[in-house]
C-alpha cells in the first residue's frame, strides 16, 4: 500500500509550484483575504502557506489529510454548483506522502490554535497548542525526500530559479482574478515591508532627481541600493506610466530584513553601503513583492 500511495501521490504532487498552488487554493477556498507564502531553498527545504481563512473544525482535523476527505462537498448536487477550487480531497494527503507536513489551525470557535504533525499516510501523529490567530498555516518540509529522482531535478540552480519564476507567475494569475486578496511571497527568510503610495498622493514629489526620496533600509539601517531603487522605479513606471512621464514619483519606502550573517555593513566608513551576500535572492524577493502588489511583471 505504501508504494501505491507514493506512486499516486507523486502524480498529484509533481513540483514546488504544484504544492504552492494546492495550498493557495485551499486558503482561497477557506475565504482567506490574506495569504503569506514562505519558501526556503526554493521550496525544497520548506514551503509555508499561512492564511486568515475560517480554519479547520476540530472534528475535521483528524481526517483532513486522509485521502478523499473533503469538507467542500456533501452531495452529488454540490458538484454541479461547485464554488471552490478543491473538491477531491486529494492534495493534503498527497503532499503528506512526499514530505513532512504540519498544520496549524484555528477557527472562530477555538480559543487557541493547535499544531498537528502528520505522517506519510496523512494521520496525526502528535498535536500541541500553538499561538497563531484565526486561519490555517500549512508547512511542508523536505519535499520529495523519499523521491530522489524527483528531488534531483532541482539540483541545478537554473531549474530552481525557473520554478521560483513559475511560482511568481502563478501569484500574478491569482492577483488578477482575486484583486481583493493580499498576498506575500518570501524566499529564504528575507522579510520585506514596503510603503508604495498610489500616484497623485500628497507624498509624491515632483522632481526628476528624486532618487533620494526613495528610502531603503536593510535591517533598519538606511542604505543606498541603486539596483533595488531601479527595480522599484521600473515597476512603478510600468504601473503608472502617465505619472512617471510627468516626473512624479512617489516617496517609496522599503524595509528589508535579512539574517545579520548575510549582510556586511562595514563596507564604507559611513556604513551607508551594505554588502548583501545574496543580492540576487534579495532582488528576486523584491521583484516577487512588486509583482504580487502590482499584478504583473514589466517587460
CB 17, min distance to ligand ADP, A: 16
User: Residues interacting with ligand ADP, by CB under 6 A?
Assistant: 22, 26-27, 30, 51, 53, 55-56, 60, 64, 69-72, 86-93, 136
Q: Which is nearer to ligand ADP, 72 or 178 (CB)?
A: 72
Are the C-beta atoms of 139 and 262 separated by less than 8 Å? Answer: no
- Cell numbers describing residue 79: 458538484
User: Residues interacting with Mg ion, by CB under 5 A?
Assistant: 26, 86, 91
Q: Which is nearer to ligand ADP, 83 or 202 (CB)?
A: 83
In angstroms, the CA 189 to CA 40 distance is 7
CB 206, min distance to ligand ADP, A: 45
In angstroms, the CA 250 to CA 195 distance is 10
Q: Which is nearer to ligand ADP, 138 or 285 (CB)?
A: 138
Q: Which is nearer to ligand ADP, 43 or 55 (CB)?
A: 55
> Coil, strand or helix: which one is 93?
helix
In angstroms, the CA 228 to CA 194 distance is 12
User: Which entry of ligand ADP, Mg ion, none binds 53, CB below 5 to 8 A by partner kind?
Assistant: ligand ADP
**What are the respective helix, strand and coil percentages of the chain, to the nearest 5?**
40, 25, 35
User: Which entry of Mg ion, ligand ADP, none binds 56, CB below 5 to 8 A by partner kind?
Assistant: ligand ADP
- Cell numbers describing residue 267: 563596507
Closest residue to ligand ADP: CB criterion: 86
Q: Which is nearer to ligand ADP, 26 or 284 (CB)?
A: 26
Closest residue to Mg ion: CB criterion: 86
User: Which entry of Mg ion, ligand ADP, none binds 90, CB below 5 to 8 A by partner kind?
Assistant: ligand ADP
Q: Which is nearer to ligand ADP, 93 or 250 (CB)?
A: 93
CB 91, min distance to Mg ion, A: 4
Pairing of strands 46-51, 34-40: antiparallel
User: What residue ranges in 166-267 does DSSP mark as E strands?
Assistant: 182-187, 191-195, 204-206, 215-218, 221-223, 248-250, 253-257, 263-264
User: Which entry of ligand ADP, Mg ion, none binds 88, CB below 5 to 8 A by partner kind?
Assistant: ligand ADP
Residues 6 or more apart in contact with residue 272 via CB below 8 angstroms = 222, 223, 224
User: Which entry of Mg ion, ligand ADP, none binds 184, CB below 5 to 8 A by partner kind?
Assistant: none
In angstroms, the CA 139 to CA 166 distance is 20
Amino acid at each position: 500500500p505504501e508504494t501505491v500511495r507514493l506512486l499516486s501521490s507523486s502524480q498529484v504532487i509533481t513540483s514546488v509550484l504544484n504544492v504552492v498552488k494546492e495550498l493557495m487554493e485551499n486558503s482561497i477556498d477557506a475565504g482567506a483575504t490574506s495569504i503569506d507564502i514562505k519558501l526556503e531553498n526554493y521550496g525544497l527545504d520548506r514551503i509555508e502557506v499561512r492564511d486568515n481563512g475560517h480554519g479547520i473544525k476540530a472534528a475535521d482535523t483528524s481526517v483532513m489529510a486522509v485521502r478523499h476527505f473533503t469538507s467542500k462537498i456533501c452531495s452529488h448536487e454540490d458538484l454541479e454548483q461547485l464554488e471552490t477550487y478543491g473538491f477531491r480531497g486529494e492534495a493534503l494527503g498527497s503532499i503528506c506522502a512526499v514530505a513532512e507536513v504540519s498544520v496549524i489551525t484555528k477557527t472562530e470557535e477555538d480559543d487557541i490554535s493547535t499544531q498537528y504533525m502528520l505522517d506519510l499516510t496523512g494521520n496525526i501523529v502528535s498535536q500541541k497548542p500553538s499561538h497563531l490567530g484565526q486561519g490555517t498555516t500549512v508547512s511542508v518540509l523536505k519535499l520529495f525526500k523519499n523521491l530522489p529522482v524527483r528531488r534531483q531535478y532541482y539540483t541545478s540552480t537554473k531549474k530552481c530559479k525557473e520554478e521560483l519564476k513559475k511560482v511568481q507567475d502563478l501569484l500574478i494569475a491569482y492577483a488578477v482574478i482575486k484583486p481583493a486578496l493580499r498576498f506575500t511571497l518570501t524566499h529564504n527568510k528575507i522579510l520585506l515591508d514596503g510603503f508604495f503610495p498610489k500616484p497623485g498622493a500628497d507624498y509624491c514629489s515632483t522632481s526628476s532627481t528624486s532618487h533620494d526620496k526613495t528610502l531603503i533600509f536593510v535591517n533598519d539601517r538606511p542604505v543606498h541600493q541603486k539596483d533595488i531603487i531601479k527595480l522599484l522605479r521600473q515597476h512603478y513606471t510600468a504601473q503608472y506610466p502617465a505619472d512617471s512621464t510627468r516626473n512624479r514619483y512617489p516617496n517609496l519606502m522599503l524595509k528589508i530584513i535579512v539574517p545579520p550573517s548575510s549582510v556586511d555593513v562595514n563596507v564604507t566608513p559611513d556604513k551607508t553601503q551594505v554588502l548583501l551576500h545574496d543580492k540576487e535572492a534579495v532582488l528576486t524577493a523584491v521583484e516577487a513583492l512588486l509583482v504580487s502588489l502590482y499584478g504583473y511583471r514589466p517587460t
